[in-house]
């Protein structure tokens, strides 16, 4: 499939540093647990965590939603859960992209039900076009209106994750 560059490697790096600086300020004196949502958030998570200047801990969750390659269906379930104790801890969810919001809404409610001290969401990309559930994105890398994005961890049917920049897939190609 043809693709066109949307966000360069340098632009990602710069924005990740800005997000990390903001999180470091907001959580000064705390040790938040960063929960990465596998697999798409993997590079964003790794780059962000290294740029945050305060101590943090890492954990991961994986959610699956049945649906086609480019639309989530809304029925979300967890296929991997966190392993660290999170009760009473400040938690930041690190996600690649918010589209309908169904995945994050599910994960957010699930984690809130476990008595975390606080919960914020950090997403590299906020794609507003198809939002069905309002989820607050406290730390947002880039806002885009539409398009299906790949690269920097984002996939289309498990392809393109390895690309170091973010591309938009061209339809009908």
- Residues near 17 by Cβ (< 8 Å), separated by ≥ 6? 51
| Residue 56 binding ligand IMP, by CB under 6 A | no
SS (H, E, C) 94-141: EEEEECCCHHHHHHHHHHHCCCCCEEEEEEEEEECCCCCCCCCCCEEE
Q: Which does 154 bind (CB under 5 to 8 A by kind): ligand IMP, Mg ion, none?
A: ligand IMP
Residue 86 or residue 94: which is nearer to Mg ion going by CB?
A: 94
| Residue 103 binding ligand IMP, by CB under 6 A | yes
- Check: CB of residue 149 under 8 Å from CB of residue 168: yes
Among 7, 33, 36, 40, interactor with Mg ion by CB under 5 A: 40
Let me know if 26 is a catalytic residue: no
> Could you give the 3-state DSSP secondary structure of residue 22?
helix
| Residue 72 binding ligand IMP, by CB under 6 A | yes
Binding site for ligand IMP (CB under 6 A): 40, 65, 72, 95-104, 127, 148-150, 154-155
Would you please indicate which residues are annotated as catalytic (active-site) residues? Answer: 99
């Amino acid at each position: 499939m043809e693709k066109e560059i949307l966000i360069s490697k340098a632009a990602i790096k710069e924005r990740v540093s800005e997000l990390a600086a903001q999180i470091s300020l907001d959580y000064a004196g705390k040790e938040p647990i960063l929960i990465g949502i596998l697999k798409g958030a993997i590079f964003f998570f790794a780059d962000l965590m290294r740029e945050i200047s305060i101590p943090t801990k890492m954990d991961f969750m994986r959610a699956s939603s049945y649906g086609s390659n480019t639309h989530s269906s809304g029925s979300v379930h967890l296929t991997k859960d966190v392993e660290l104790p999170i009760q009473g801890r400040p938690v930041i969810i690190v996600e690649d992209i918010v589209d309908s919001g169904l995945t994050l809404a599910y994960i957010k409610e699930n984690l809130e039900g476990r008595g975390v001290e606080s919960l914020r969401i950090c997403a590299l990309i906020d794609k507003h076009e198809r939002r069905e559930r309002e989820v607050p994105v406290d730390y947002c890398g880039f806002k885009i209106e539409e398009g299906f994005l790949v690269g920097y961890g984002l996939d289309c049917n498990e392809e393109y994750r390895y690309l170091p920049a973010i591309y938009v897939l061209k339809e009908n190609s």
